[in-house]
Amino acid sequence: MSMGMDTGWLRTFMQAYFESVVATLLPIWRVFKTDPTGLASPLRPKANGTQRGKQVMRHREEDPASRYDCDTSIAFARE
């Protein structure tokens, strides 16, 4: 019997939670644009991960020279 594929080992419960499917339902996700120096700036207010994921893909298609990602603004230890 198997519980499914393990995609990685994480040090904290919070890391595991934010990488889970459950967290994508929460309105905590933002679209970030990262400049060449590595500074990430939020472009959109918080929403659920599905909405923001679609917007990230649209930004990447419209501006392929820049980097766009979906992440939270929640601070927690990411050791």
Q: Are 33 and 58 in contact (CB under 8 A)?
A: no
Q: Global pTM?
A: 0.70
Range 58-62 average pLDDT = 94
CA of 13: how far to CAs of 3, 8, 33, 61, 76, in Å? 18, 13, 27, 34, 11
pLDDT at residue 49 in the model: 84
Would the pLDDT of 60 be above 90? yes
Torsion angle of C-alpha atoms 7, 23, 71, 79, degrees rounded to 10: -60
Identify which has the larger pLDDT, 57 or 1.
Answer: 57
SS (H, E, C) 17-28: HHCCCHHHHCCC
pLDDT at residue 3 in the model: 55
